[in-house]
Chains A and B, each alone.
Chain A
Amino acid sequence: MICWTRCWPAMSRRLVAALPGLVVLALILAGLEVAVNAGWIRRALMPPPSAIGLVLWDLLESGEFAAPLLATMKLVFSGFVIGSAIGIAGGVAMGWFPAAYRLLEPLVELVRPIPKAALVPPLMLFLGIGETMKITSVSLAVLFPVLVNTLQGVRGVDRMMLDAARTHGWGTRHTLWHLVLPAALPFILAGMRISLGLALVLAVLAEMLSGQGGLGFLILDMQRSFLIRQMYAWLVILAVLGLALNTLFLLAERRALHWQPANRP
């Protein structure tokens, strides 16, 4: 993956490909600026982008952005890791052991369709409004897409690979770790990619409802305090966090699946 001279042409080509989209973005920002300054949009609802930019700059320069950003990142990360781990373990168990499938399938099918946002209020009853509740909410949202995809991936492992493992005398544990999991990895990662978006949604929502800590709380708090420019500035930080998380995940995914046809050099 280390390549400077060879990758530059590819990178600059990608930059050129991204250019039209960036131009559209710049035009919209410029249009907003003009519209707000001309009075077509009420300043109280939508301050000019330049003013939001100044507030954003202050947040960044003073370092004020760091603590809430870190709080939200920590929440997303812990929920993502815990939810994914349970989802993968559950999916492998259900995909491999018929007994586990019969035992858990009704439960999964019942809980899966519930929008996990709706589970935050009852969770608050049991777990309060602290980190435990927030992490549990995020984990729950992450769990199901990962579980369902893992289950599908495990069931889809080629019979012939499994027979190869059997004819060479592989035991169940070795087969699960070294054959089933890597074979199902493309499915698992696809589920995790969906879950990453959900994790951010639930993190922000849990912060809003709990009324403490993180970007979600701040966005709501600024709106309620009529600090509209601050609200938008925090929103931008949240957007960048979402973009960064997604980009990082895609990179990691490509790296893990380097052997797949789409990722071959």
Chain B
Amino acid sequence: MDFLELDSVTKEFPNRSGPPARIMDRVSLSVREGEFMAVLGPSGCGKSTLLQMAAGLLPVTSGEVRIAGRRVTAPPPEAVYVFQQYTRSLLPWRTVRDNVAFAVEHRIGRRRARDAAETQLGQVGLAGFGDHFPWQLSGGMQQRVAIARALAAEPAMLLMDEPFSAVDALTRLDLQALILDIWTQRKLTVMLVTHDVDEAIYLADRIAMLTQHPTGVSRMVEVGLPRPRDPITTREAPRFLELRHDLLDTLLARHV
């Protein structure tokens, strides 16, 4: 069953001179319940715009977004958006614990939200860091805080906007493993936007490749690699290398 559906979504931005700029033209895409979908495309191809519309953070010009069968007009309770720039989405005046409590404090009150936050911090390997401030932690740890915050809301779906692009290569591997664990444990549906081909193949069940100007889905690729995936051996599998070759070929050809 499809959990997230984008139904011929078109997006136009107002233009100071002339007609509005159509940056996305009738894009249709659906993510099945429990699926890990990667959306792959070069920078500036409208990946984030697509994800923000899926999250109800940005209105569509025409077409429809549905989550769990219901039309999205505002951020739905089922899905939480995880931002690329954790430094800008975490609140610098709040401790790590209170940043995670952020997700639910308006529903269950500060005190219970803090208890819930402790549990989530343990899940992402940050037990004992509740009293720190975000700026006292490394980039990778800050992104873990952002993930813990998203999990605290107990969403059915995560919408992730290049969540690992701002951290170093080793930390990225750690965070990818963490996200796969969480996805498996909680049976989440994930849509993850990235420009990293390896990351898309390693994490996803299916990969949607985007074209530019205006944005559209050019290909839908079944990854077909067995799970659980391994950070080393999966990347050496023939299927991985074949896909990597194929996808990079498509991405690079467009740049020439």
**Residues of chain A at the chain B interface (Cβ within 8 Å):** 158, 160-161, 163-171, 174, 178-179, 182-183, 185, 257, 259-261, 264
Contacts and interface: CB of A to CB of B under 8 A. Distances in A.
B112 to A, nearest CB: 15
A168 B91 contact: no
Interface of A, helix, strand, loop or mixed by DSSP: helix
Contact of A264 (B102, B103, B135): B135
Contacts of A164: 81, 83, 89, 102, 149
B34 interface: no
Given A259-B135, A264-B135, A163 B57 contact: yes
10 contacts: A160-B89, A163-B83, A164-B89, A167-B79, A168-B103, A169-B107, A169-B153, A182-B93, A183-B91, A259-B135
Contacts of A168: 75, 80, 102-104, 106, 149, 153
Interface in B21-46: none
B92 A167 contact: no
A96 B8 CA distance: 33
B contact face: mostly helix, strand, loop, or mixed: loop
Given A164-B102, A168-B106, A260-B92, 4 more contacts: A161-B89, A167-B79, A167-B80, A169-B153
A164 B159 CA distance: 12
Contacts of B122: none
B135 A160 contact: no
A169 B135 contact: no
Interface of B: 52, 55-57, 74-75, 77, 79-81, 83, 85, 88-89, 91-93, 102-107, 133, 135, 149, 153
Nearest to A256: B93
B93 A259 contact: yes
Contacts of B88: 158, 160-161
A136 B149 CA distance: 46
Given A160-B83, A163-B57, A259-B133, A171 B106 contact: yes
Contact of B55 (A167, A170, A260, A264): A167
A169 B89 contact: no
A156 B74 CA distance: 23
A174 B83 CA distance: 21
- Most chain B CB neighbours (cut-off 10 Å) among A160, A166, A168, A178: A168
B154 to A, nearest CB: 11
Contacts of A183: 91, 93
A170 B91 contact: no
A124 to B, nearest CB: 43
A163 B88 CA distance: 11
B247 to A, nearest CB: 29
B81 A167 contact: yes
A166 B89 contact: no
Given A160-B83, A259-B133, A169 B91 contact: no
